[in-house]
Structure 1
Amino acid sequence: MHIMEGFIPLKWCIIWYLIALPFVVFSYRFVARQIKATPRMKSSFALAAAYTFILSALKMPSVAGSSSHLTGTTLGTLTIGPMAMPLVGAIVLLFQALLLAHGGISTLGANIFSLSIAGPFVAYALFRLLTSARLPKSLVIFIATFCGSMATYIVTSFQLAVVYPDAVTGVMGAAWKFLGIFAITQVPLSIIEGILTVIVLRLLEKSQAK
């Protein structure tokens, strides 16, 4: 999913930085307020960041210039809130770009938007909507995680399609091609992540109950 260094033009790198930066700033302020009010939030934030880092570092090749992997963002979204995730994503993606050559510095803004803004907010919106519909909690978590993960890849597909439109069908045609290739690896990965998130959240609930 992370778009590699130099794969999109500088103009689009700057545009995605400008879009993602306000979210990261607001996220930093949100996390700072939460930690000041509740010091225990430090450990929750660290857990969410570590979980996202580990899962999103386990990647497999997909579309040229990109890759598929678990996102790990829904756990943090449901435990510390979607507004904390842009900061989590910025930290995770920066470390991955510097230490693992996964993603890039120039493409950091684009990757932050897809991984830690689009995905978490879609997951959170669905979680709230389906919870109000009184569906079983495990099913709600699974659906929210699956759709949040897929939202990340849908956004990435359009980020690439805008830069590399199809000669005949334009941006939409290119987006469908990218989505089709991503789906081969990402649909099963999103299902796995949904199941894993349900299990981890259930374990956390049992731990807190004890």
Structure 2
Amino acid sequence: MMRTSRWVVIAALLTSYFFLTNEQDAYAMHIMEGFLPAKWALFWWGLFLPFFLVGLRRLVRTLKEHPEQKLLMALAGAFTFVLSALKIPSVTGSSSHPTGIGFGAALFGPWVMVVIGTLVLLFQALLLAHGGLTTLGANALSMAVVGPLVAFSVYQLHRRGLVSHRVALFLAACLSDLATYVTTSVQLAVAFPAPDGGVLASFLKFAGIFAITQVPLAVTEGILTVMVWNWLASYQASPLFEREKGA
């Protein structure tokens, strides 16, 4: 059974890579370069930066106290990069994608993933033209701040004994994905309110567009996150995983 699960995980990651390399012309859900008005781009940058600075301090402290976690952090970053770079066509010429944030948030907490998620978005903007530099503050706030905070909060359901570990991990990955897209919809709505109905009508339009593809993607991401965690737990002797065995 474990061997089968491992091959399923590998196949899923290879499928992600296939879409990544064959959908270069699609529009990514990351808000594209120059799309936001300057005042809103600056606003989201200002809101995002304090979270990033706190996350950077936590990351440095974590690496000093636990240098052995560098490889796991690199793995969490790679997982986030691959999943969030996967683009699946949505409607009206847009696309949806997973975020991959829940896995790292469950491992290291939300603050470390603020930095990792931001670096992922920066590399995607520079190397893949997903998102942009002026809109990095908005994109990082939604995926690298709101996403990890939601994932970690939901994951605490297991710590409190309310649900099993697998259920908590699934919900953390799934709901952090959806929270990212809700936040992005809010960002677009306040920047581009509808002539009739204002911000609320615009939010419902943006959220409705991406819900069609994002809901099944979020569920799939939750399942894949649990599978990857279980696979690593079978081979990883780290205390991070040992405490979860038997849950």
TM-score (norm 2): 0.81
In 2, distance between residues paired with 1:63 and 1:57? 18
In 1, distance between residues paired with 2:94 and 2:54? 28
How far is the alpha carbon of 1:67 from its aligned partner? 3.3
Which residue is 1:76 aligned to? 104
Which residue is 2:39 aligned to? 11
In 1, distance between residues paired with 2:181 and 2:91? 11
State the Cα deviation string for residues 7-45 of structure 1 (Å, max 9, x = none): 110111111111111111111111111111111121122
Distance 1:202 1:105, change over 3 A: same
Which residue is 2:116 aligned to? 88
Alignment pair present for 1:116 and 2:183? no
Question: Partner amino acid for 1:27?
Answer: G
Which stretch has the larger CA shift, 171-180 or 61-70?
Answer: 61-70
Question: Max radius of gyration: which structure?
Answer: 2
Q: Which runs of 5+ in 1 are unaligned?
A: none
CA RMSD of aligned residues (A): 1.6
- Which residue of 190, 194, 199 corresponds with 2:227? 199
- Which residue of 138, 141, 146 corresponds with 2:169? 141
Distance 1:105 1:204, change over 3 A: same
Which residue is 1:163 aligned to? 191
Total equivalences in the alignment: 210
Distance 1:48 1:154, change over 3 A: same
Which residue is 2:65 aligned to? 37
State the Cα deviation string for residues 52-88 of structure 1 (Å, max 9, x = none): 1111111134466863101000011011211101111
TM-score (norm 1): 0.95
Q: List, as ranges, runs of 4+ consecutive aligned residues in structure 1 with deviation greater than 3 Å.
A: 61-67
In 2, distance between residues paired with 1:115 and 1:11? 20
Question: Partner amino acid for 2:187?
Answer: Q
In 2, distance between residues paired with 1:65 and 1:125? 33
In 2, distance between residues paired with 1:26 and 1:97? 23
Instruction: Name the % identity.
Output: 50
- Which residue of 66, 78, 88 corresponds with 1:60? 88
How far is the alpha carbon of 1:131 from its aligned partner? 4.1
Q: Which runs of 5+ in 2 are unaligned?
A: 1-28, 239-247
In 1, distance between residues paired with 2:80 and 2:132? 17
SS of the aligned residue for 2:88 comes to: strand
